[in-house]
Amino acid sequence: MPGHTVWWILVKVNDLVYKVLTVFCAVFLAAMLVTVFYQVLGRFVLQASTPWAEETAVFSFIWMVLFGSALGVRDHSHLVADLLPESMGPFIDKLIPTITYAVTFTLALAFVIYGGEYALLGRTRVSETMGFRMIFVYVSLPISGVAMILFLIERTIITWTGLELPGSQSSGAVDEIEHP
């Protein structure tokens, strides 16, 4: 079945993206914690200022938040407010999440397009304290946007076809969706 081959490829690509983003989130969290700890230690114990530590923590936080947001799309773990009845019929039950995915897709596409343009501006801008090009910070927007788009395509297919994520890294992603 050709459709299932495409589905299998999408799931495998998304599994890889998910694993890479998870590792990067862990690395950025560790970098942020270590640099903030070092900054506090330097300022209050050693009485020495470390301006690079603040920039490192902020840049790590930016990457971690954007990558974590993409992971939340796949895991379906973003905050949801239930304003409508639990079930409104099979078609509406599929349509409402699809509308949500479409709005999120629009935001992710803006991350890719405008974030990409913004990242290109970073080629000429330099970090004040550490002296590296800001493209390395700004490029987190289009990267997270691409990941969100991949994960949204997967979620939309799950919603409309009832396919599941076979052995994927986001084990809780499908639990909330009822399949007919």
- C-beta separation of 135 from 143 below 8 A: no
DSSP lists the bridge partners of residue 126 as: 133
Residue 121: both structure tokens together: 């501006």
Distance separating alpha carbons of residues 51 and 54, to the nearest angstrom = 6
Does 128 have pLDDT greater than 90? no
pLDDT in tens, 3-15: 578 888 888 999 9
Single-letter amino acid code for the residue at 175 = D
String of b and e for 124-137 (b: at least 16 CB within 10 Å)? eeebeeeeeebeeb
Q: Give the global pTM.
A: 0.81
Q: What is the mean pLDDT of the chain?
A: 84
More confident position, 23 or 172? 23
